[in-house]
Chain A
Amino acid sequence: MATAKKPQEFYPEGDALIGYVEQRKRRGLVWRSIFLCATLIGVISLIALLYNIINSAFGFVALQNEIDPAALVLSVEEDRMLAAPNLISSEDDEELATGVIDNPFAIGFFGYAYYQEHAADLHILTIDGIEPTAANVESGDYPLARPLYFYTDADRLADKPAVAAFVQFYLDNVTAVIEDVGYFPASENALESDRNTLARALGDTDSADAVAEDLLIAGSSTVYLLSTVIADLFRETGFTGNIEVQSVGSTAGLAHFCSRNSAVDIANASRDITRGEVEACRDAKREPLEFQVGTDALAIVVNRGNTFAQNITLDELRMVFTDAELWSDVNAEWPAEPIVRYIPGIDSGTLDFFAEEVFQRSLGELPKQTLIDILAANVSTGLMRRFENDQPFAERTQENVYELVLERVVEPTVVATWTLRDSIFRRAEIEAFIQDVPNGSLDFRSWLTWNFVTSPQSSTPEDAGIRTAILGSLWVILITLLVSLPLGVGAAIYLEEYAEKSWFNQLIDTNINNLAGVPSIIYGMLGLAIFVRVMEPLTSGTFFGVGDPTTANGRTVLSAGLTLALLILPLIIINAREAIRAVPSSLRQASYGLGATKWQTIWNHVLPTALPGILTGNILAMSRAIGETAPLVVIGASTFIVVDPSNPFAKFTTLPIQIYQWTARPQDEFRNIAAAAIIALLVLLLTLNASAVLLRNRYSTRI
């Protein structure tokens, strides 16, 4: 066989011989490693394939909520506070202070500065035993301490030199006056970063020229006090323009600031700007710049004549400002006198801050009734009625209502997804991304969940599931099995036990081997032309009186099952023949010797002995059929159905088809659910193959 070579004329000896042998050995070693590497490429590919699927099936998703859940909770809490009896609510802190001074059973809260103004007439409470001193505020021990800000934007700084000059002046002088006003100075770090922000915004422009322009400052009543003092000082430096400082509350101030062509130059705020407000600002072509100028401690004050309360816990605070009617309801040691509450108005940042800090509940912790109220306030009455019809609210659990609120009110939508690898190694980038998403939140998600397996198809990837596809696959495979198993085994028995060497049997034999090599898509075309088109009355069920003749067509489970049956028939025949051939002929001879007929021999002896082999081959053929996609696409699997297939004449989709359709979509989330569906498919196949191996091992020793 090897090609003839010229006989070698040079025969090495001694060292030359050793060198020659060594060289051949080396070459052998090198090639051996190359062969090994080639083999390992297959293994590496398998690993890469599995890694890729798992990588896509798990990972972070960035969600954007229609409504920030925290804002929902906040509005609930504020509503409860504002609904309390004996309540006086005002944007003017001065009014609150005088109110508390006049009533011995009053309680109120406002910025520390107002307390300082009236320190002689008011009595301040410690919270959980901690006093609002400069040290406690700076260390963050005092629970109701909050930073004070003002906001302006870069364009305004550049366009109006007066604004720039005023901001510069503000930052330079705030520390000197803040304690006199009644607040606590901002940390040196915060001021440093303020100066940097300003320098960056101004760039090279000269900020020293204070042109006489009008300045409008609006916002928080807390920062108002500070800003008026600074404004007075600024006028003293020779600024001749008109400075107007308004106390309208943080929310209103920022709302004005962030509206188009706003006259407000600077917005005071006693809380962080929210993402929604940033978004509003950007819509109005303003990029808010944040300057922290100090820290405020919220003072909880009572009348000077109030001797019973010295300290109050957070729990007691919650009760005092919501449902409690009498002081004794809160604490048994306190008198049974009605509580008179003085709180800032709904527009004030102080109220938001108080509600946020004192009631730290998440949306999921709210009671069922509150959640139902939220739902009712945010969805149409028709939808509420539908929910009620599905299952009365009285019977629903709090979790169930919470899910409804999440789904219908918070309405999270996926804005971006990351792979498992990115989720682990690029965490910082992902977290930076989510900062820029208004109302965004980050969620680590496994796309393969029980919910995914059990819910029907959907056009939104988060709600989509594979139940219809799994059921479709099972239905199709059932039909395939029922048709191909008897036909395949029958053909194998005929060819092995009955067929004599005739040209026709030879043809069948060759033909089966050729059919095994025909591309699966050709079977799809056969199925399309024969089962779907020609045999439409049969496969659509109208022949049997099932199904609606006007809408039914042949693209059904039955057509798909029959097509796949033809496709795997050659495989089953070939495998079954192997198994039958392996049955020792002594078994047949013994049976014939006892007088059994041919069929009795086959039925009672050959088939039972060959059965494990036949079944193994059959299971392997089934797993091939389950994974087939192309022929089913050709015969026309449905692209979108949510109805479970319930009979052979139903429209269908299968797991591989679903994977194909999701993979073909450009959005990332569909890739993620495709990966999850692939895992489900592989698990299904693995189960089948494992059972084939078990079957083989269990019975192979019996012969």
Chain B
Amino acid sequence: MQSEISMINQRELNVTDATRINLKHQPRLGETVIQIFLFLCGAISILTTVGIVFVLGRESLLFFMDPEVSGQSILLSPEAGAAALSEGNLMGLCMADLGACGQQIGTSLVTFFSGVTWQPRIFEFGIWPLVSATLLTSTIAMLVALPLGLMTAIYLSEYASTRVRSTLKPILEVLAGIPTVVYGYFALTFMTPVLRNIFGQNIVEIYNTASAGIVMGILILPLVSSMSEDALSAVPDSLRQAAYGLGATKLETAINVIVPAAISGITAAFVVAISRAIGETMIVAIAAGAGPRNFTTWGDAMERLALLNPFKGAETMTGHIVRISGGDISYGTLDYTSLFAIGLLLFLMTLGLNFLSRILVERFREEYE
């Protein structure tokens, strides 16, 4: 068989130059089509990001252009105030008078970022009740996840024997693989009763940020520990050996040498954890409460740190989005566009944190390679 082919080839080669196989680079249509298809697959991710930015941006613009948000009608003349506000004519009005449009958006942004009342029903759009709740639950989660996660990472990377590590790591992975809605159930039916028993039924409300925050910390714990552990075990062994050689104990080596050497990786883990906590939805939607913790004025909000009481219910940004969109909302209403404004803020916050963590990881990579 083989010899036959070679014979044919030889015969062909010998016949004329015209029938000789052309070994030069040939355009292959199939290959090019495939490459283009694969490129498009890659580009889909860009499209996704563009889609997110476009959608969030467009609806947020509509939200901020709406005179109801700030209560001041700059874009619309008072005569037109009563006219029905459809999306199209709002956009058109804005295009027609860019200056007024910018002013309108500006005043809306000021109300948005300075208000302490979020009540879409009466057109009060101050984002602080939602943001403060997000920060509160995230802080509680971090208080749980960061120390525990770091200590777990140190134990697993520096102390645990191979056998212990091979038992504990999968358990933590299981914890990371459980759907968040299950954690929400856990927070509401386990953590809340526990907190109520410890601190008293009158102090701890059924829906409270403490319970949601603690359980969120447990959810994030495996993320922190595994990322930190990766950073710790990437520290070259020579550093450990050197520390031992100088007479340091295991603890001293871990705390004074290994952790500082891996600090950028650990910080990256922390930053990713914070971003995860801010975007976490189901736990707070189930356990933190349904209704923003509103105040009339800043003084009211600051009084006895009422904004920060962890044992009271509060609605976070994500919790609010889920609750409102879970009901029937009609497109183009302020209810609808306000969600996208919150979503845009959420997206920007997590995006910033993710960039920060990537920068930290890059720095960390360069150190030992």
Contacts and interface: CB of A to CB of B under 8 A. Distances in A.
A120 interface: no
B347 interface: yes
Interface stretch (A49-57, A137-145, A234-242): A49-57
B168 A39 contact: yes
Interface in B353-369: 353-355, 357-358
B281 A494 contact: no
Given A514-B355, A519-B318, A521-B279, A45 B175 contact: yes
B49 interface: yes
A537 interface: no
B93 interface: no
B354 to A, nearest CB: 4
Interface stretch (B65-73, B181-189, B301-309): B181-189
A513 interface: yes
A226 to B, nearest CB: 54
B331 A629 contact: no
Contacts of A530: 51, 55
A249 interface: no
B339 interface: yes
A28 B244 CA distance: 14
A27 B251 CA distance: 8
Please indicate which of the listed interface residues A49, A499, A533, A682 has the most CB atoms of chain B within 10 Å of its own CB.
Answer: A49
B226 to A, nearest CB: 11
B132 to A, nearest CB: 18
A634 B322 contact: yes
B112 interface: no
Contact of B185 (A53, A486, A529, A633): A53
Contacts of B351: 514, 517-518
Contact of B343 (A36, A42, A521, A628): A521
A25 B51 contact: no
A190 interface: no
Given A35-B155, A499-B42, A678-B182, A514 B49 contact: yes
Contacts of A45: 175, 218, 221
Interface string A684-698: 010001000000000
Contacts of A2: 256-257, 260
B45 A526 contact: no
Contact of B189 (A52, A520, A599): A52
A519 B281 contact: yes
A659 B186 CA distance: 12
A674 B186 CA distance: 11
Nearest to B165: A39
Contacts of A252: none
B41 A487 contact: yes
Nearest to B147: A38
Contacts of A520: 279, 281
A660 B286 contact: yes
Nearest to B280: A519
Contacts of A41: 148, 221
Interface string A171-187: 00000000000000000
A498 B40 CA distance: 12
B152 A633 contact: no
A46 interface: yes
A525 interface: yes
Contacts of A106: none
Interface in A501-523: 505, 507-508, 510-515, 517-523
A630 B41 contact: no
Interface residues of B, number: 89
Given A498-B38, A515-B45, A39 B152 contact: yes
Residue among A507, A627, A671, A689 with max Cβ neighbours from chain B (10 Å): A627
A35 B178 contact: no
Contacts of B118: none
Interface string B176-213: 01111111111011100000000000000000000000
B2 to A, nearest CB: 14
B272 A35 contact: no
Interface centre among B38, B177, B257 (most CB of A within 10 A): B38
B241 interface: no
Contacts of A513: 354, 358
Given A38-B152, A598-B31, A627-B181, A518 B42 contact: no
Contacts of A656: 179, 181, 282
Interface string B311-355: 000000010011001100001000000011001001100110111
A663 interface: yes
B167 to A, nearest CB: 9
Interface stretch (A68-76, A431-439, A566-574): A566-574
B140 interface: no
A508 B38 CA distance: 13
A522 B56 contact: yes
B98 interface: no
Given A529-B59, A633-B326, A634-B325, A38 B275 contact: no
Interface in A647-671: 656, 659-660, 663-664, 671
Nearest to A48: B190
Contacts of A505: 42
B252 interface: yes
B151 A490 contact: no
A522 B52 contact: yes
A660 B55 contact: no
Interface string A615-635: 000000001101111100110
Given A38-B151, A511-B49, A519-B278, A660 B181 contact: yes
B321 A517 contact: no
Contacts of B178: 49, 627, 682, 685
B272 A517 contact: yes
A358 to B, nearest CB: 49
Given A1-B261, A490-B38, A39 B151 contact: yes
Interface string B252-268: 10001100110000000
Given A38-B155, A494-B42, A522 B347 contact: yes
A671 B287 CA distance: 13
B43 interface: yes
Contacts of A518: 52, 279, 347, 350-351, 354
A29 to B, nearest CB: 9
A84 to B, nearest CB: 57
A168 B367 CA distance: 98
B155 A597 contact: no
A600 to B, nearest CB: 9
A517 B275 contact: yes
Nearest to B281: A630
A675 interface: yes
Contacts of A48: 186, 190
Q: Which 4 A-B pairs have the closest CB atoms?
A: A519-B279, A627-B179, A490-B41, A38-B151
Given A35-B159, A508-B46, A517-B350, 18 more contacts: A2-B257, A24-B251, A42-B225, A45-B175, A52-B186, A493-B41, A494-B39, A494-B41, A517-B272, A530-B51, A599-B34, A633-B285, A639-B326, A656-B181, A660-B286, A663-B286, A678-B185, A685-B178
Interface of A: 1-2, 24-25, 27-28, 31-32, 34-36, 38-39, 41-43, 45-46, 48-49, 52-53, 56, 486-491, 493-495, 498-499, 505, 507-508, 510-515, 517-526, 528-530, 533, 566, 569-570, 573, 597-599, 623-624, 626-630, 633-634, 636, 639, 656, 659-660, 663-664, 671, 674-675, 678, 681-682, 685, 689
12 contacts: A28-B252, A34-B151, A36-B155, A39-B168, A45-B218, A49-B182, A493-B38, A517-B275, A519-B346, A623-B177, A627-B182, A656-B181
Interface of B: 28, 30-31, 34-35, 37-46, 48-49, 51-52, 55-56, 59, 147-148, 151-152, 154-156, 159-160, 168, 171-172, 174-175, 177-186, 188-190, 218, 221-222, 225, 249-252, 256-257, 260-261, 272, 275-276, 278-282, 285-286, 318, 321-322, 325-326, 331, 339-340, 343, 346-347, 350-351, 353-355, 357-358
